[in-house]
Amino acid sequence: MQESAFDVNPDADQIAAITRLLGREPRGLEEVAVSGDDGSPRVIRVASLVDGKPFPTLFWLVDPELGYRIDQVEAEGLIARLQERVDADPELQAAMAADHRAHIALRRQHMSPAVQAEIERLGFAGVFEERGIGGIEDFTRIRCLHTWYAAHLVQANTIGTLLDEWFAGQSA
């Protein structure tokens, strides 16, 4: 897998591919953050303001095979099993909180001063300072493996690493 450079606008072919993958035109698309070896989009980066509304989920998983694989493990109850593990381990809780803080900082890096000013003007600055991966507010909870894994493919995180371990164990 290769990562594209940040702040690179997607070209027409990438937009067309993402539109096919989503089944609709992408809203707020700013970048293909991670591409497969064949150049196909795996993760996209979305603007923090979409149609004048806050959008704290920075990265979206668009890889259909990986998305389906995560759908399957979520349906099998993996979120609950991972959550039990996190609930029992203060080190995992601290690592998750650090992941959220790192994600907040990364999201901020992708906001222009004009976007930051508009977010503040609209009264949403707190949303972007208090919500981490997947827009989650409680830094000890796992809500969606797709958003965790999309963020993980860009910048490694605790839940993405646990998911990698789970997948590796399933393949053995």
Say what the pLDDT of residue 23 is: 87
- Up-side HSE of residue 40: CA atoms within 13 Å toward CB? 13
Nearest to 28 by CA among 13, 15, 42: 15
Kindly report the pTM of this predicted structure.
Answer: 0.89
> At residue 22, does pLDDT exceed 70?
yes
> pLDDT (tens digit, 9 = 90+) per residue, 43-91?
999 999 998 888 889 999 999 999 999 999 999 999 999 999 999 999 9
Return the domain boundaries, the chain: 2-167
For residue 5, give the DSSP letter: P
Confidence (pLDDT) at 171: 66
Cα dihedral 8, 14, 63, 29, rounded to 10, equals: 50
Is pLDDT above 60 for 172? no
Buried b (16+ CB within 10 A) or exposed e, 6-45: eeeebeeebbebbeebbeeebebbbbbbbbeeeeebbbbb
For 3-13, what is each residue's pLDDT tens digit? 333 445 787 88
